[in-house]
Amino acid sequence: MHTLPALAPPSRAVETARLLLRLRTASDPAPVHEQLRALGPVLRVPWLRSLVVTGHDECRAILRDGSFIHPDAGWRDRHQPGWRGHPAMRALYSSLLTSNAPDHGRLRATLAPLFSRGAVAALRPRIAELADDCLDGLAAVLREGVADIAAEVGVPLPARVMCSWLGLPEEDAPVLTGLSRRFAAVHELSPSEAQIADADRAQAELRAYFTPVVRACAAGRGHGVLARWIGAGGLSEEEYVVNAALLFVTGFETTAALLATVTRVVLEQPALGDRLREAPEEEVAAEVEDVMRRYPPAALLSRVATEERTLAGVRVPPDQLVHLLLGPANLDPAARRSAAAHLSFGSGAHYCLGASVARLELAVFLPALLRRFPALRLAAPPEPADGLAHPQARRLLVTEYMAVGVF
């Protein structure tokens, strides 16, 4: 009788690649994040020609270390020849979102006053009106039995909030939502040629939309945040067009992902919804913060080393690309120290300017949902999120009549 030799365990690189692929189809990424974190804080992935960082302290150090920069034009010329032929890539990599010093500081300084505490707080009444209107639409569909809460609330609410805040016609929200979703694909890890081509077409349409908006604001004919920002001057027309579009895209995509995730988590745990329904705002905010920690809306960030560094005993040479996985990093006990400890909105110079707007939308939306629909439950198991860098739940079916515990 012959005994088969034991199979060698897969290498950490192979296991990391396998888990990254699983993330693309996981309806709940948290267990996969735990497995990635267990492999170690810094992992080599040869097929990506990069390091994958899962440790909280290592991710935070990279985000706060000026020697790690966004992959800039020079790096892309060396490693991604042909990228300049794609309008979506040119727009993304010249925007505030991915710029480096000194351009990043210059661009951010013009936008920062728009996100002051007072300016954001002034949005609350309008967000409440829009949330009530979206919930009215949800109620109408629920009377027929089952509704897709992502389609009725999760997508239109943040899109309409962004339009109202920026000073764009709210009736343009559906068009801008579609363009945003198509453009955002270029920010994914290893997008396909088809996705890049479609993102290029979306970018052309975004440019065609925002160019006359910017020119109207520059001539004093606009209103809202864009009018104040552009009216103050200081940037070129091209910079205003690119970053006005990115303001909508990032503000919409981030909050849409969070609304869907928070809704799913609360509906999966009816006792949690019961507790939060009449809870003080501070308790609701703390629970929302914990959901954001476990399910970051931007789950992957990329940086390039400009100097040699050592992370968790792993040498990082200059020009090395590193991918930061914020989901695993946020499961580290270090991320639970305080609301400021998790990395879901980044850290350091690139900390998300719109984080307070996203938090406000969630603070208004969640109590309104729970109070108005106390019997709301999931009508079907959640579908896998679409995307690894920016996971999005495309559908979330709910009903007021599904018995608890069916799934």
Question: Other C-beta atoms within 10 Å of 304: how many?
Answer: 22
Q: Write the single-letter amino acid at 349.
A: A
Distance (Å, rounded) from C-alpha 189 to C-alpha 359?
A: 26
pLDDT of residue 104: 95
For strand 300-305 and strand 68-69, is the pairing parallel, antiparallel, or unpaired?
antiparallel
Of 118, 83, 353, the closest CA to residue 243 belongs to: 353
Q: Is the pLDDT of residue 7 over 70?
A: no
d(CA 348, CA 118): 22
User: Is 406 a residue whose pLDDT tops 50?
Assistant: no
Distance CA 202, CA 39 (A): 38
- Confirm if 48 and 77 have CB atoms less than 8 A apart: no
Which pLDDT value is given to residue 355? 95
391 band by pLDDT with thresholds 50, 70 and 90 = confident
Q: Indicate the SS3 state at residue 62.
A: helix
Q: How far is CA 104 from CA 21, 49, 98, 350, in A?
A: 32, 26, 8, 8
Q: Does 359 have pLDDT greater than 50?
A: yes
| Helix, strand, coil shares, percent, the chain, to 5 | 60, 10, 30
Question: Which whole number is the average pLDDT over 38-48?
Answer: 90
* Rounded distance between C-alpha atoms, residue 313 and residue 310, angstroms: 6
- The 10 Å Cβ neighbour count of residue 174 is 13
Confidence of residue 10 (pLDDT cuts 50, 70, 90): low
Strand order in the sheet with 377-378: 146-148, 397-399, 377-378
CA dihedral 293, 298, 304, 307 (to 10 degrees): -20
Mean pLDDT of 26-40: 91
Q: What is the pLDDT of residue 23?
A: 87
Residue 337: pLDDT over 80: no
pTM: 0.92
Residue 324 pLDDT exceeds 90 = yes
What is each CA distance from 112 to 100, 126, 164, 223, in whole angstroms?
16, 21, 19, 18
What the block records as the tokens of 335 is: 């991320």
Percent of the chain with pLDDT over 70: 95
Q: How confident is the model at residue 316 (pLDDT cuts 50, 70, 90)?
A: very high
Confidence grade of residue 338 (pLDDT, cut at 50, 70, 90): low
Mean confidence (pLDDT) of the chain: 91
Angle (CA) 396-397-403 rounded to 5° is 125
Cα–Cα dist 63/185, whole Å: 23
Among the listed residues 269, 257, 265, 299, the one whose alpha carbon sits nearest the alpha carbon of residue 382? 265
Q: Across-strand partners of 128?
A: none
Looking at residue 154, the DSSP 8-state letter turns out to be: I
What are the tens digits of pLDDT across the range 112-147? 999 999 999 999 999 999 999 999 999 999 999 999
Q: Are 147 and 155 in contact (CB under 8 A)?
A: no
Q: What is the pLDDT of residues 63-80, one digit of tens each?
A: 999 999 999 888 999 999
Tell me what pLDDT residue 390 has: 82
CA distance 386 to 353: 25
Q: Exposure pattern of 321-350 as b/e (b: 16+ CB <10 Å)?
A: bbbbbbbbbbbbeebeeeeebbbbbbbeeb
- CB burial of 265-285 (b: ≥16 within 10 Å; e: otherwise) equals bbbeebeebeebbebeeeebb
Sign of the dihedral defined by the CA atoms of residues 27, 30, 34, 40, in that order: positive
At residue 405, the pLDDT reads 47
